Amino acid sequence: MKILKLAIAALVMGCATAPALASHVRFGVMIGGPFWGYPGYYYPPPYYPPVYYPPAVIAVPTAPPTYVEQAPAAQAPAASVWYYCAKPKGYYPYVQRCPGGWQQVAPTPPDVSGAPQ
């Protein structure tokens, strides 16, 4: 009997303090997820929008530029022989046809001094 009286007294004391505890916010885990708030009320967790990061920039080093020096353009070798026509008088290619035949002569450079000939 003594135990029953103690159990009833504990139950009465527990009910008397329940309204005082109801004013406090409780944190805990319910079945199925967390809850925040007053007893008996369920507040969903705060919403955090997803964070989108810009795409990663990958810099690939390139090979240094390669410079190729080309040889100067090959010039036609200087003619070691000129062709002269006596009739009509002149040198090839200024005279295209020579009925009397072409004569081979040593090339003579033009006078560049500007003196009259």
The residues spanned by each domain of the chain are 2-37, 81-107
State the average pLDDT for the chain: 75
Euclidean distance between CA atoms 35 and 27, whole angstroms: 6
Euclidean distance between CA atoms 91 and 84, whole angstroms: 5
Given pLDDT bands bounded at 50, 70 and 90, which one contains residue 103? very high
Classified as helix, coil or strand, 11 is helix
Q: Is the peptide bond before 93 cis (omega within 30 degrees of 0)?
A: yes
Is this structure's pTM higher than 0.85?
no
Q: In this predicted model, what pLDDT tens digit does every residue of 36-94 receive, in sequence order?
A: 555 666 777 888 888 888 999 999 989 998 988 888 876 666 658 899 999 889 988 89
